C-alpha cells in the first residue's frame, strides 16, 4: 500500500466546514483503492493571527515541506485585513514552494443549472492556467509623498522571462497532453505599457515551438465577454496572476456556481509539495451554517489524488461528484445549486456515490 502524507489546513470560515467532507471522501476512496493517507492537521488561520500576530508558526513552512501535498480550505476573516492574512499564509506557500502553476478547470457539470441559455454538460470544458508566483501580485512599491497633496501608491508588476516562459510552456504542454491543441492567451498589451507587450512577445515565441497548436490572443476585456458569449470555444487559457484570478471566478460563474471549482497550485518539478484548494474563499456571509457546497473542496482533493499518481481514485471521485450533481433531489444539493442539503449531507452523498459509480 502506498501511503501519502498530507498537510491539512482548513483555514477560516467555510474552509473549516468543507474540509471534513473532503477528508471523508479521502477515507472512503483510500479504502477502496488501498491507498494510505497520513494526515497532519494544522489549525493555522486568522484566529492564530488574532491570538499570536502571525498566521503560521515560525517553522510553519518547514513543517509543511515534510508532506507530499497540502490540502487547504480557505483563508480570510472579516476582522483581519485580507492583505495580512493572505500574505501571511496562502501566498507565501504558493511562492516559497514555487507552485508557479495554478491549474483551474472550468466545466459545466451534469445537473448544474447553467446561467447561459442552451448549454448542457460537455459544452463548457476548458482549463485556466494561471501564473501563480509573480506578475501583478507583488510587494514591490509603496506609498509616496505621504501626507502631501501628491500622495499616492505605486504597485509594481514583475514579469520575468523565466516566470513567463515556464507558465506558457506548461500551458502548451497541457494542451498537447490533453489532446486539446489550442491555447488562448489573456493579455492587455494595448493598455499596459511594459508588462503585457512582453507577455505577448514571449507567447509568440513559445507558440513558434508548438506549430501543431492553434493559438489566439485576447485582450482581457473582450476575453471576459467571450467567456460569457462563447465559453465552448476555449480549451486552454493562459493568463497572468491577476488575469488568471479573475477569469477563474468568471469561468465557474458561467458554469452556474463558483462553489464547485477546484484549484491546484503545482510545483511541476516536485521539489516542494503542491497545494490543492477550492477556488472560492472563506465566504463569511454563509460561514457557520453548514450550508456551503463542499464540491470545490472535494474536486480539489481529486486533483490532489491525480497529482499523487492515484489517477483511478481521482477519476472515481470526479464521477461521484457528477453522480451527485446529476441527482435532481434537493436533499443532496446545496442551496447554491438549488437544493436544501447541508454541507455534510452533500458530502455524505458524494461518499455514497463512490460505491454507486463504476
Query: Distance of alpha carbon 133 from its chain centroid, rounded?
Result: 14
Which CA distances in Å does 234 have to 75, 218, 254? Answer: 30, 12, 13
Task: Using the rule CB under 6 A, give the single segment among 160-168, 174-182, 219-227, 273-281 that binds ligand NAD.
Answer: 273-281
Q: From the CB of 76, what's the least distance to ligand IPM, in Å?
A: 6
Q: In this chain, which stretch among 51-59, 108-116, 141-149, 290-298 interacts with ligand NAD, using CB under 6 A? A: 290-298
Q: Is 23 in the site for ligand NAD (CB under 6 A)?
A: no
Q: How far is the CB of 93 from ligand IPM (least distance, A)?
A: 11
Q: Quick check: 336 binds ligand NAD (CB under 6 A)?
A: yes
User: Which of 296, 305, 342, 350 lies at the binding interface for ligand NAD (CB under 6 A)?
Assistant: 296
Q: Which three cell numbers mark 261?
A: 471549482
| Interaction of residue 18 with ligand IPM, rule CB under 6 A | no
Residue 358 binds to ligand NAD (criterion: CB under 6 A): no
Q: Choose among ligand NAD, ligand IPM, Mn ion, none what residue 267 binds, the Cβ cut-off being 5 to 8 Å by kind.
A: none
Q: Does residue 245 belong to the site contacting ligand IPM (CB under 6 A)?
A: yes
Contact 292, 17 (CB under 8 A): yes
Strand partners, 126: 106
Binding partner of 14, given ligand IPM, ligand NAD, Mn ion, none, CB within 5-8 angstroms per partner class = ligand NAD
Taking CB under 6 A as the rule, does residue 93 contact ligand NAD? no
Q: Which is nearer to ligand NAD, 22 or 353 (CB)?
A: 22
* CB-based contact 303:264 (threshold 8 Å): yes
Regarding 34 and contact with ligand NAD (CB under 6 A), the answer is: no
* CA separation for the pair 154, 140 (Å, rounded): 8
76 binds ligand NAD (CB under 6 A): yes
The CA distance from 275 to 268, in Å, is: 11
For residue 55, what is its C-alpha cell? 498566521
Nine-digit cell at 184? 488562448
Please report how close the Cβ of residue 195 comes to ligand IPM at its closest, in angstroms.
Answer: 17
Interaction between residue 350 and ligand IPM (CB under 6 A): no
Say how many residues touch ligand IPM, by CB under 6 A. 5
The number of residues that bind Mn ion (CB under 5 A) is 1
Question: Of these, 70, 259, 298, 346, which contacts ligand NAD (CB under 6 A)?
Answer: 259
Nearer to ligand NAD, 30 or 339 (CB): 339
Per-residue contact flags (x/-) with ligand NAD for residues 239 to 258, judged by CB under 6 A: -------------------x
The nearest distance, CB 198 to ligand NAD, in angstroms, is 27
What residues from 226 to 245 belong to the interface with Mn ion (CB under 5 A)?
Answer: 245
279 binds ligand IPM (CB under 6 A): yes
310 binding ligand NAD? (CB under 6 A): no
Residues that bind ligand IPM (CB under 6 A): 86, 90, 245, 279, 281
Residues that bind Mn ion (CB under 5 A): 245
Amino acid at each position: 500500500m502506498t501511503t501519502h502524507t498530507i498537510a491539512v489546513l482548513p483555514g477560516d470560515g467555510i474552509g473549516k466546514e468543507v474540509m471534513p467532507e473532503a477528508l471523508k471522501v479521502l477515507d472512503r476512496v483510500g479504502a477502496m483503492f488501498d491507498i494510505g493517507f497520513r494526515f497532519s492537521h494544522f489549525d493555522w488561520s486568522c484566529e492564530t493571527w488574532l491570538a499570536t500576530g502571525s498566521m503560521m508558526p515560525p517553522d510553519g513552512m518547514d513543517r509543511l515541506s515534510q508532506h507530499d501535498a497540502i490540502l487547504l480550505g480557505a483563508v480570510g476573516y472579516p476582522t483581519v485585513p485580507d492583505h495580512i492574512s493572505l500574505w501571511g499564509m496562502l501566498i507565501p506557500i504558493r511562492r516559497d514552494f514555487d507552485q508557479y502553476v495554478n491549474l483551474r478547470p472550468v466545466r459545466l457539470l451534469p445537473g448544474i443549472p447553467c446561467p447561459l441559455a442552451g448549454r448542457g454538460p460537455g459544452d463548457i470544458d476548458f482549463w485556466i492556467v494561471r501564473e501563480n508566483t509573480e506578475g501583478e501580485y507583488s510587494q514591490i512599491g509603496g506609498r509616496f509623498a505621504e501626507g502631501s497633496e501628491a500622495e499616492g501608491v505605486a504597485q509594481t508588476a514583475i514579469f520575468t522571462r523565466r516566470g513567463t516562459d515556464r507558465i506558457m510552456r506548461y500551458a502548451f504542454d497541457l494542451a498537447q497532453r490533453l489532446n486539446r491543441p489550442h491555447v488562448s492567451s489573456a493579455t492587455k498589451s494595448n493598455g499596459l505599457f511594459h508588462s503585457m507587450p512582453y507577455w505577448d512577445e514571449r507567447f509568440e515565441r513559445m507558440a513558434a515551438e508548438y506549430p501543431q497548436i492553434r493559438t489566439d490572443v485576447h485582450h482581457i476585456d473582450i476575453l471576459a465577454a467571450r467567456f460569457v458569449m462563447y465559453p465552448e470555444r476555449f480549451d486552454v487559457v493562459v493568463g497572468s496572476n491577476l488575469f488568471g484570478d479573475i477569469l477563474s471566478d468568471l469561468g465557474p460563474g458561467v458554469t452556474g456556481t463558483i462553489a464547485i471549482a477546484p484549484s491546484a497550485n503545482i510545483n511541476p518539478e516536485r521539489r516542494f509539495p503542491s497545494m490543492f484548494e477550492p477556488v472560492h474563499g472563506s465566504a463569511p456571509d454563509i460561514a457557520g451554517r453548514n450550508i456551503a457546497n463542499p464540491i470545490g473542496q472535494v474536486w480539489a482533493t481529486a486533483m490532489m489524488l491525480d497529482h499523487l499518481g492515484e489517477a483511478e481514485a481521482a477519476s472515481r471521485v470526479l464521477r461521484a461528484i457528477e453522480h451527485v450533481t446529476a441527482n435532481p433531489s434537493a436533499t443532496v444539493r446545496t442551496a447554491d445549486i438549488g437544493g436544501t442539503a447541508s454541507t455534510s449531507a452533500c458530502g455524505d452523498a458524494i461518499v455514497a456515490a463512490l460505491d454507486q459509480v463504476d
